[in-house]
Amino acid sequence: MPTYLRMGGLCQNETMELYEGVKTLTNNLDASRQSAKELSKSIENVQKEATDVAVQRNIERRRELRENEVRKELFLKKVLMQWEHQEQVRQEEIKIRADFLKKYGKRWAEVEALRVKLEKQEQEFQKEFNKDLNKARIAQFWCFVVAGWIAYFLVWGK
C-alpha cells in the first residue's frame, strides 16, 4: 500500500501524528485534572487547619475569660472575708473599751499608751528578725558560691 493512501483526506503519517497529539493532549488533561484535585485537597486541608486553629483560640479565650471571672469572684470573696474580720475586730474593741470604761473609769489613756508601747516593741522585734533573716540569706548565698567553686575544681580541676 502506498504511503500516500488517503483516509478521509489525511495520509497515514498525518493520522498517526494527530493520534499522538490527541493522546498527548489527553494525558496532559488527565495530569492537569489530577493536579487540580490535589490542589483542591491541599486548599481544603489548609482551610480546615485554619478553622481548627480559630476554634481552638476561641475555646482558649472563653476558658481564660471564665478563669478571670472566677479569680475576680474569689478575690472579692477574700476581700469581703477580710472586711468582716476587721469589722469583728472593731466591734470587739468597742465592746472591750466600753467594758473597761465601766469597770475602771477614765483610765483608758493608760491602756492606749500601753498598746502603743507594745506595738512599738513588736515592730522592733520584727525589724531585728528581718535583719537576722537577711544575714542568714547572705550566709547561705556565700555557702552556695563556695560549694559551686569547689564543685567546679573537683570536676574540671585546675
Give residue-wise pLDDT tens across range 52-96. 888 899 999 999 999 999 999 999 999 999 999 999 999 999 998
How far is C-alpha 95 from the chain's CA centre? 49
Question: What burial class does residue 111 get, using C-beta atoms within 10 Å of its C-beta: 0-12 exposed, 13-18 middle, 19+ buried?
Answer: middle
CB–CB of 108/100 below 8 Å? yes
Tell how many helices (H) and how many strands (E) occur in the chain: 2, 2
CB–CB of 97/104 below 8 Å? no
Q: Does residue 1 have a pLDDT over 50?
A: no
What's the whole-model pTM score? 0.43
DSSP H or E segment with residue 11: strand 10-11
